[in-house]
A and B are shown apart, each in its own frame.
Chain A
Amino acid sequence: MSLVTENPRGTCVLGGVNNVLSAVTRVCPIYHSGPGCCMQTSAGESGQAGLRTPYFLSSVSSPCSNMLEREVVFGGERKLRDEIDGAIEIIDADAYFVLTGCTAGIIGDDVAAITEDYRKRGLPVYPVTTPGFAGDSLLGFETAWDTFLDYIIEPAAVKCPDLVNLLGVIPYHDPHWSGTLEELSRILRKLGLRVNTFFTDDQGIATVRGSAAAALNIIVSPYLLKDTAKKFEERFGVPSIRFNGVPIGATQTTEFVREVGAALKLGQAIIDSVVKSEEKYVYNYFESIIGALSWKRFVVAADAGTAIGVTRFLADDYGFTPVAVIVTEPIWRDSDKRRITDALTNPEYARPPEVSFLSDHYEIRQKIKSYDFTLLVGSSLEDEVARETGAQFHVMAFPMSDKLVINRTYAGYRGCLTLVEDLFNNL
């Protein structure tokens, strides 16, 4: 289900699928779609997420059948086969995934059967049959994992008790995804773990294929990948724990470390030692900037995961006053809304902020203007309302089009220091 929306955030299923595929090393997406879908999904995803371009294939370099009137009328299967043949001939990839655009989806080209022909011939070509119009890029992100579960991930001969899958950060959508995966991996490695991030350290389709060997999925999102978690457990016996978004700052990251430690039954000594040294690192710096950044009443308009992380950090760890939080992506399940609301409305000391769920930008703008605040944390879309209200404005959520982000992150222990720096530097 989709609603008429002013300035929606993100693109369609193809965008979300492509975000994942373009972040896994040496994977080739093939768009079976009209002309323009490659560019639209890149401009609206990676182009709005800190401006980095996927190095392998993206936008106008993604193979695409560019379906025209002829294909729409007579079917595009022949054209798709040619396209796949060409991609295999010239693109040096380990796996090829065919994405189904609206045109192909509506006219009913049989992408599953065509790709199966290739696999019968021993060629790694896989279908993503969920069409563009089925939903937004968040659904696409989940669709990519479903595809991996259905076609790529293999049962593990040997389980690795020290291996974890870190899931829930959307590459080329979350503007800070690289740095976030690096910082969370750093912390997990300190606990003696090996980490599949899938999207950093040149991890490729082999990492995806072997991910069933992991002892645990760590999902850092309040609601994404529920089916993925279920299938990982049912088919491959990999359990999951869920953290309400990417942890920011000492309090949340220590919770994160302790939850992971408990789930994997790691020794108390190593957990305590990691927590102690990391918290010391953060607070030694905080001790030297006392008073640099004065008190703020803040409003957050962001995706649920980002909103929870930043609201809890600013309220619980930094002493700011949370006024209101607007969760900006469509959340369909009431249970998810409750979980998100609970995570936002239990600050340790502060009064709980008002929480609302709005995806229409007009409604978001009106809502923001109804509050009295001095700091607005949001996406680039909130720039205009920030100018109108005269509040300090910090962009940290998707869509982010006015900042170049390479490996900057606000995640974990170290990232919160960067967040405080950035808040000061744009005063």
Chain B
Amino acid sequence: MARTYSGIRESRPYTYNDLGGKSLRLADDFNKKCLKNADRTFSQGLQCRQINSISCVLSLEDSVFIIHSPQGCSGCVTMGADGYRVGQAHRGVTLIKSPRVIVTNLDRDDVIMGGEKKLADAIKLARERYNPKMIFIFTSCASGIIGDDVDAITAEQQKLTDSILVPIHCDGFRSKICASGFDAAFIAIQKYLLPQEPQPKVKGLVNLFAPTSISYKDQLEVERMLGLLDAQVNYIPFYSSLEKIRRITSAEVSTSICKVFADEFMKELDETYGIPFAHTVMPIGVRNTDKWLLGIADLLGKRKLAEEYIEKEHRRILPQLEGIKKRLAGKKVFICGGTGRSFAAAALIDDFEMELVGLETPTYDFDAQMDIEYLNGIHQDYVVDIANMQPFEQVNLVNRLKPDLFIGVPSWSARLGVPTTHVLDPKRATMGYDGILYLGNKIADQVENPGFNRKLAPHSRLPYKESWYRQDAFKFIKED
């Protein structure tokens, strides 16, 4: 491997997970490199990296997934399996399958004696039952702390089978940033599934990396746009296969739909296989869609084609945005989301001339800085909360800032009576130019009709003390 990235996002310089303040000051401090590492002395539950590692590969064909953990660590896989079933339904599959998941079910005895035999047993079951092309093995906090040698067991078992064994080291306690789980999965994909030597390139073949939250409609839309550039799309890893994974190394270029998905992997592909990549933004909103498409077009030498298309789409879409703008201009917005969606939503509201008052996003790093500087050029000094959810901070801020709209998971802000919406939609395209109209109308409709949230609020039972709403939302963030 050309690089030695560990798959732990904290290992990248100037990466912060616990931070809060006003946007101008934070951007300035980041530039001066005077932000300090910190931790929350009180926090709410995070998403662990194992969840992301599993979700990354769960829809691959002809695979078995072994979770080397106690039973609880399979909780989110059931959620991922639902997503996989829905994804199949959207893709017109009638005989909908569940992913084959085997849990080693580490218990008290295994914690003392080690769980390696159970892992070997699970691999044997996977082979005998399904003889799959790939068997993925996910580690856990428990297997990591008790020190099971997963690589050794895997190597030993590999001698007994033609299925490719792919151990993914994703023990939850090693990182606070769940996107590290994507990295762990891609490191394993490279090590165990890709041809180790550079392959002959296929002209126009584009690796399009997309996380599980991308709907089928969005997949079709981004594939259609790339098709306009004469690109042939290798959409991975969702609903793909070993063959498609192996084609990765034959691609001319790579890009991703999400800023924190496969970004490190694309660097690796560039260095090891000579596949350049476009790392830009999520194609939501006019500016982002332009930027995303131009990013990949430049690499393919198709800038002119892209510009013509963009100009044509602008002529079609921009006049239609005027009506939505009239309904939304000047409305104050608070946004909470994962890294990709939060910044995409922030760019989107600019199309409607809305005002950003608060932004909650999981990580502050060089990538985030680019977005925040861009947003600082458009909006007044807004509040930034670097948090993976942390609803206690969110309700404090939303209650104080009183936005006209909250974009993100609505569970808490809805109960403050604030209109809420989301830029995720499993059934409609949200990406590309038509997606802008769809999202714009959705946002406008929900801002104008806050009935459910307004009527719910007086009955709501949020768990926080009244005194909390009067305190500094960031009081629990303490520098190391």
Contacts and interface: CB of A to CB of B under 8 A. Distances in A.
Interface of A: 1-8, 10-15, 26, 28, 31, 34-45, 47-48, 53, 55-57, 59-69, 71-72, 82-83, 85-87, 89-93, 101-103, 105-107, 132-137, 362, 380-381, 383-384, 387-388, 399, 401-402
B185 to A, nearest CB: 15
B48 interface: yes
B46 A36 contact: yes
**In the A-B complex, the 5 residue pairs with the closest CB atoms:** A86-B42, A36-B48, A38-B45, A44-B75, A12-B72
Given A26-B463, A40-B74, A93-B463, 11 more contacts: A2-B105, A3-B105, A6-B125, A15-B72, A34-B48, A44-B78, A59-B45, A82-B41, A87-B42, A381-B98, A384-B96
B115 to A, nearest CB: 10
Contact of A133 (B111, B461, B468): B111
Contacts of B476: 86
B389 interface: yes
Contacts of A133: 70, 106-108, 110-111, 142
B72 A44 contact: yes
Contacts of A102: 70, 72, 111, 140-142, 145
A10 B71 contact: yes
Interface residues on B, range: 35 or more
Given A72-B145, A133-B106, A11 B42 contact: no
A12 B71 contact: yes
Nearest to A26: B463
Given A66-B45, A387-B94, A60 B389 contact: yes
A228 B178 CA distance: 39
Given A61-B44, A87-B42, A91-B463, A1 B72 contact: no
A402 B86 CA distance: 10
A260 B204 CA distance: 74
B75 A11 contact: yes
Contacts of B172: 34-37
B100 interface: yes
B92 to A, nearest CB: 14
A57 to B, nearest CB: 5
Given A2-B71, A66-B46, A384-B96, A91 B465 contact: yes
24 contacts: A6-B103, A11-B75, A31-B45, A34-B141, A36-B48, A37-B48, A39-B75, A40-B51, A42-B75, A56-B461, A60-B391, A61-B392, A64-B44, A64-B45, A69-B174, A86-B476, A87-B42, A92-B465, A92-B466, A102-B72, A105-B111, A106-B146, A399-B78, A401-B78
Nearest to A363: B129
B76 interface: yes
B430 interface: no
Contact of A82 (B42, B78, B97, B118): B42
A87 B392 CA distance: 10
B109 interface: yes
A388 B108 CA distance: 38
Contacts of B152: none
Contact of A55 (B107, B118, B121, B461): B461
Contacts of A39: 45-48, 51, 75-76
